[in-house]
Amino acid sequence: MANVKCRMSNVEWRMSNKGRLRLGLAGTACAALLAVGACQRPAPQWLAYGRQCMVASDSAEASAAGLEMLEAGGNAIDAAAAVSFALGVTRPYSTGIGGGGFLIARTANGRVYVFDYRETAPAKARPDMYVRGDDGGPVAEHASRDGHLAVAVPGLVAGRRAVLEELGTLPWARTLQPAIRLARDGFLIDRHFTDAAEEALKRYRTDSSLTASCPYVYRTYLNGGELFPVGHRLRQPALAKLLEALASEGPGLMTRGRVAEAIEREMAAHGGVVRAADLRNYEVLRREPIGATYRGYDIITMPPPSSGGVAIAQTLNVLERFNLRAVRRRSQGRADHVIVEAFKHAFADRARHLADADFAPVPAALLTSKAYAGGLVIDEESAPQRPPGAYGTSQVSDDAGTSHYSIVDRWGNVVVGTETINTEFGSLAAVEEWGLVLNNEMDDFTSRPGEPNAYGLIQSDRNAPQPGKRPLSSMSPTIVLKKDKPVLMLGASGGPRIITSVLHVMINVLDYRMSLEDAMTAPRPHHQWQPDVLYFDQAPPDPLAVDLRSRGYEIADERKTGIVQAILRRLGGWAGASDPRKGGRPAGR
């Protein structure tokens, strides 16, 4: 009985696959328990259930913005636009107009569209721009992360326009309305916001020159160093003005108009290299998705310049060799060990081979093949005492930033989008008059060869900055299909932890058949090959920690993880979950 969930609303789609008998038993058992008052556990606020449609994002206001579009007759693509613009207001440290992203849409007729509006290196970028200045002199250690030189050409507005023009049904201006209201009237900041502000404040404290060069973020979001308390109503009048201008004058404002000119002025005044011509020349790219199969499911996920899709496909191919449910029955530690070893192979290959495939050869077909996965060594018994070189193939190099949303509409269109300005409040640089916070996506390039980036990732020179190139990403919007029907839509924020968090929730649901609630809250392991340390988002239970240590893992004290937004098909509708770790709320009908 322990595994029978007592919420009828939590009887999810896979039970229907197992047959009516099982559902009937679960339902009968639940009804019996209800009768004796044992079924009282209410669903947490970060879970929602809907018959027709669902929006899961990391902000309650943004999810509500998406639902507003769906209720106004819009489709999932219209909802994605409203969610995205609203996230830029309520999670200004994660994403916004100064950033970029990836979006996968699968329309009700089964067609898949992949949009890449990732930030791009400007024309003046050089492979060694964070090692040597134009004059050959040294460059500040954090120049790829803090301040104007860290900014890459934003693509978010161009992306929104391309997606809406191709697949949307509501007018452009309509999708901006919720964001305009939120920026003008304000919203109440939560704990996650204050945590992000605290992280950003550390960067200002480390480099005192940032207060002068990046005053807007310092004043508006960090309150001049005296951080706002939880519950403070934050209004952003300059950003409201920008959103209103975008609504009335159209997206061209960002690429050719007053905003593009203001970005150039800001950059030129503070040593940044993005120019109005870069914004004018920015192109949204359409890509072919990475496809994979896993135990009868079809997976659609993001190709390079994301590393996420390749890593997800590679990891699943390796794990398919194991009966994970049976391994887990023997011990959780044994199952986690197998999963973590698969992560390590994938991250070793990420480090060596992944980059923008338009600029460097990326052996994606090899890395995502079942044959390649079949040759990667994982010893189910033994401790991981092998050297780093034993992972992946060498033959062929945390994030408060980033935000993911998953959406399904009543017609069966689904959208998964991940957008980012990279680390908290991006570069900290902003165009003050427009309330426009600028990304620091240049740090996702290999900015200093051999040195780890903000996420501790080592990357190859294939991922060095070059004009027009897109920095390697971990963003992994993913759709899982069963018999051609979408059953699980998910993605995450959190740098490299995006990949392992998405995989972990997938494994929990697809292999372990957990409810979405359990899948989201289970202790989440993360390993990225280098450093050779195993992370969890919460202290693992003692027996698990002891088991994993006995297998040779060093378990870090640091508790960071990805933040997942997921929608799972269930009988008669959808379950939506906004990862409780960031305080979001899904919204559905």
Binding residues for ligand GLY, rule: CB under 6 A, are: 402, 420, 422, 444, 473-475, 495
CA distance 269 to 429: 11
When the beta carbons of 403 and 413 are compared against ligand GLY, the nearer one is: 403
When the beta carbons of 240 and 311 are compared against ligand GLY, the nearer one is: 311
When the beta carbons of 201 and 475 are compared against ligand GLY, the nearer one is: 475
Task: Give just the sign of the alpha carbon dihedral 48, 54, 58, 60.
Answer: negative
What are 504's two structure tokens?
A: 């972990």
Least distance to ligand GLY from the beta carbon of 517, Å?
27
CA distance 145 to 440: 5
In angstroms, how far is CA 401 from the centroid of its own chain?
9
CA distance 487 to 334: 28
When the beta carbons of 75 and 474 are compared against ligand GLY, the nearer one is: 474
Least distance to ligand GLY from the beta carbon of 475, Å?
5
Least distance to ligand GLY from the beta carbon of 57, Å?
17
CA distance 316 to 383: 21
CA distance 563 to 53: 21
Q: What are phi and psi of 281, to 5 degrees?
A: -85, 0
Neighbours of 539 (CB within 10 A): 12
Q: What are phi and psi of 286, to 5 degrees?
A: -100, 135
Task: Give just the sign of the alpha carbon dihedral 479, 444, 425, 77.
Answer: negative
When the beta carbons of 402 and 478 are compared against ligand GLY, the nearer one is: 402
Least distance to ligand GLY from the beta carbon of 570, Å?
30
CA distance 282 to 123: 11
Q: Parallel, antiparallel, or unpaired: how do β-strands 430-431 and 414-420 relate?
A: unpaired
Can you state the angle between helices 308-319 and 497-506, rounded to 10 degrees? 40
Least distance to ligand GLY from the beta carbon of 495, Å?
5
Least distance to ligand GLY from the beta carbon of 514, Å?
26
Least distance to ligand GLY from the beta carbon of 353, Å?
16
CA distance 355 to 460: 8
Q: Is 220 considered catalytic here?
A: no
When the beta carbons of 315 and 420 are compared against ligand GLY, the nearer one is: 420
When the beta carbons of 378 and 442 are compared against ligand GLY, the nearer one is: 442
- Kindly name the residue from 95, 120, 402, 418 that is annotated as catalytic: 402
What are 570's two structure tokens?
A: 């269930």
Least distance to ligand GLY from the beta carbon of 56, Å?
19
Half-sphere exposure of 174 (CA within 13 A, CB side): 18
479, 300 contact by CB (below 8 A): yes
Q: Is residue 64 within a helix (H) or strand (E), and if so which, with residue range?
A: helix 60-71
When the beta carbons of 157 and 472 are compared against ligand GLY, the nearer one is: 472
28, 61 contact by CB (below 8 A): no
Catalytic residue positions, numbered: 402
